Amino acid sequence: MKRKISHIFGGIKGTLIVMFAFILFPFARLFLWHKKIWIVSEHGYEARDNGYSFFKYMRRDHPEVNCYYAIDFKSSDYPKIKELGNPIKFGSFKHFAYWCAARYIISSKTQGFCPSYYLTLLRKKVHLWGKYVFLQHGITKDDQKFLYKKPSKIDLFICGAKPEYDDIKAHYGYKENEVAYTGFARFDDYFGLTPKNQILVMPTWRRYAENVKFEETEYFKTWHAFINSEELNAILKDSGVSLYFYLHPHFKQHLHLFKTNCSNIKVIPFENSDLQVLIQESKMFITDFSSLAFDFGYMKRPVIYYQYDEEKYFSGHYIKGYFDYRKDGFGKVCNDFSSLLLILKNILNNNIQMDGLYLNRTAKFFPLLDNNNSKRIYHSISCL
């Protein structure tokens, strides 16, 4: 009964928001269109991904553009935007008005660019608003049908790698001028870094680990055993390396279940933890299928893929795309924990350096390897 009432109130709320937007739209266009507004956002509560990196570039290199960043003013990331200038309170009247009048709506999240979720749904039905530029969060490697042109209504799809660009242009239904290989904005921040003696571990999420008792899932049991392995901790201790475990945000409500007493293994809390800083400061990356492995490949840092449920993942989570982890990946693929430990030992004994085979693969995957990614994104948007 409560669920039914919640759906009814949600429907009423959505209808009122949509009606408000339609009333506001002509006035916003009439009085604000001349400002040539660009609005950048991620999720409304953060500024730490491609959206933030691109906004930094715009405020530094193109202050003449009326570019704004939409964020909750209570967010721990808000001071970063306030310092750059042109913040807009996410979900405020000003956000609604500027969103209706914006020439370009730019975000790294498919659901993060609208001041209300209901307007996200509306925009996919009625294309009245400015051009939507999708900066992406991670390299698209699997067959992501929700990102196809027809359902997503993306006007410019920004790609971080050449094979990704080729696949999206060939199969996702975008025209030549609607997809661009520029590199990701956050890649600009990956030069001149001195990483710490630490390893970042981040498994991706699973559809089949949702709406079930989480403690009984293979996902929980595997990664809980991982962070509590005395053998792993001893290897880290001998090498003087720390390991940071970062659970995927989709499972943040289960973070309290991941506890460890291992001295060199730390579970990272979400509050006040900037994933981009962790990426930049880590010498190597361990994951199962996370696209963040591409960031480490871009920085030429070692990667290990721990794919304990490989077959189940591609049958119950994502449809496999152009990327083959064994032929194209930036590190060894292992399906069991003992193999992972052996590979890790070899990498630690090699001073945590990427092997030549994987260096060659990264060079082919990222022919654009420089800090001009945001500049290319700006020019691609300007040509829309």
User: All domains of the chain, ordered by start, with CATH?
Assistant: 2-183+371-382 (3.40.50), 193-365 (3.40.50.12580)
pLDDT of amino acid 124: 67
Q: State mean pLDDT over 219-228.
A: 97
Give the C-alpha separation, 12 to 10, whole Å: 5
Amino acid in the structure at residue 207: R
Give the C-alpha separation, 1 to 7, whole Å: 10
Predicted model pTM:
0.91
Looking at per-residue pLDDT, the higher value among 286 and 26 belongs to 286
330 has pLDDT over 70: yes
pLDDT-derived band at 128, boundaries 50, 70, 90: low
Amino acid in the structure at residue 276: Q
Give the C-alpha separation, 123 to 153, whole Å: 8
1 has pLDDT over 60: no
Q: How far is CA 86 from CA 78, 82, 147, 189, 377, in A?
A: 11, 7, 30, 22, 20
326 has pLDDT over 90: yes
Looking at per-residue pLDDT, the higher value among 56 and 119 belongs to 56
pLDDT of amino acid 7: 52
Q: What is the pLDDT of residues 52-89, one digit of tens each?
A: 999 999 999 999 999 999 999 999 999 999 999 999 99
Which of 3-7, 40-44, 99-103, 330-334 has the largest mean confidence? 330-334
Q: What is the pLDDT of residues 146-196, one digit of tens each?
A: 999 998 889 999 999 999 999 999 999 999 999 999 999 999 999 999 999
pLDDT of amino acid 321: 87
79-83, 106-110, 242-246: which has the minimum mean pLDDT?
106-110
Looking at per-residue pLDDT, the higher value among 261 and 321 belongs to 261
pLDDT of amino acid 207: 87
